[in-house]
Structure 1
Amino acid sequence: MKTVFMTGVTGYIGGSVAVRLLQAGYDVRGLARNEKDFPALKALGIQPVAGTLNDEAIIAAEAAAADAVINTASADNPYVVATILEALAGSGKKFIHTSGSSIAGDKARGGYAATEAFTFIPKNPRLEKAARVAIDRAVLAGGGHYIVICPTMIYGNGLGIKKDSVQVPLLTEAARELGHGVYIGEGENRWSNVHIEDLANLYLLALEQAPSGSFYYAENGIHSLKEIAGAISKSLGFGGKTASITIEEAIHRWGMEGAQFGLGSNSIVSAVAARSLGWLPVHNNLLSTIFHSEHD
């Protein structure tokens, strides 16, 4: 039985991927910071490894001992990635790094920008995303069997100990407080999206079949933030009522990153490469999932 070492197993993506790997017969060892999470991880079948992202020796040793490594802890931590790449150098082992499709973000402040969907890493990303792009490129050029998966707006109940994603819950929390769905500016900006179960399946497929140097966006749908705000409003019993907030209000509420890129930009990408690998996502129902999540 093959062993996969993972970072981020207490998170939404990592926990879901870990459970999917366990279902497929893999052993999963997962870096975990808080001992209070160990019983829940063990209950799922994940073997916790005590440590943090700053524990280079632990990460290096686990990476060297495992049959494959998956990083889902941070798309923006070059130290973790460098440690893993150094530990795996010359081994031929697979390493999957997790990016995020805000690398294709445009800082549109809620406006819609009609652009062709990105199929690969942007050649000229915005300065705010240059560091993340540099990490992605370093992984692909690392000289081993290395792969990058780049999720879009993720939705659905997580399979691990963390059940909630990021963007939709942030908007839901704001809507509850304000009594209506919210979006930034015109709300016409659009995000590609993917269901967490489909995303977890892509990790498994990539682990088993992806060639070295592969880069995969994960998407199976696209919606404007105004549409999402409307679905959230309906789910909370506000009858679909929505209203705009300014980018300044959004920054105050969600911080610069969350406002400008997480919720205010366009992130329009294509999973043509993942589909060419044989990925067959089955969920394409973000809006109805939002509605039913508050009514089940």
Structure 2
Amino acid sequence: MHPAASVILFTTLSGAGYGLLFWLGLWLLAGRETLPDLALPALAVGFVLVSVGLLASVAHLGRPLRAWRAFSQWRSSWLSREGMIAVISLAILVALAFALVAGAARGRVDVLALALCVAAALTIYCTARIYSSLRPIPAWHNAWVLPGYAVLAAATGAAWLSLLAALVAQAEALRMVALASLALFVLSVVVKVAYWRHVDRHGAGVDAASALALPAGSRVMPFEAPHTEANFLLKEMGFALARKHGRRLRRIVVMLLCLAPLPVLAAAFLQAGGVLAGAIGVLLAMLAVLVERWLFFAQARHVVMTYYDARPS
């Protein structure tokens, strides 16, 4: 599939934003935040990340001004469901911010924090299901896509929260989130490696022989190309990435994911330089996810490409 920059930004930024909001909601539910010193900056950063990500996804549409029509297909479309829950989560975010500024009762803050956690988690789930529900793309239609996206969203969200905790000198929050981010980044490496092995083992799942109901391994070659010039399918679904480049980029993703929690841990336990270390951790985490997202699209093969390339995949 063509790795469009708009979709890469959407999945990266919105995932980090909702991961941040999820962790903030848990922090508020734990009763750790009595003053809005950490909560309000986290809500603001989460709002910016989510909004920029959603705007990038709208820009990917052929006619962005018609994006509102997607909301009408919520019964069958995960994209529509994701959009609806995203709007609801932003409304909850604004309500929670007003409640914190106004010094609302603890019970009201807890209800809004719980609602924010649920809405953020549901949005992440729906975003992952947009891709994992597509049966014509075997690299996406498998059980590893959802946990892979969710754990990366949680890990990058934790990295952002640790940076904000360092900025406002919330030492307790910084230590707790740093330990959580370490576990999440390690888990993300495990999940992504398992996903890549699954994709490499199963390939496209179909070839020209299976399409013709011939025995597995039969050699089927087209007499000539379907047409003489490139078309929309080749442009959007025929992106080719050399295997050696794919392996190199995978190693870069693993390296960045392994390095990302180290500055976060340093920010939690260093007496000085915590903000700089936290910023480096966020940078490494976001770079890792950007490269991973690019690979996620670039290495996905639509089964329609079998029509153009009859070699077994």
Is this a same-fold pair by TM over 0.5? Answer: no
Which structure carries more helix by proportion? 2
Q: Which has the higher strand share?
A: 1
Report which of the two structures shows the higher radius of gyration computed on alpha carbons: 2
Whose relative contact order is higher, 1 or 2, with alpha carbons under 8 Å and at least 6 apart? 2
User: TM-score if structure 2 supplies the norm length?
Assistant: 0.28
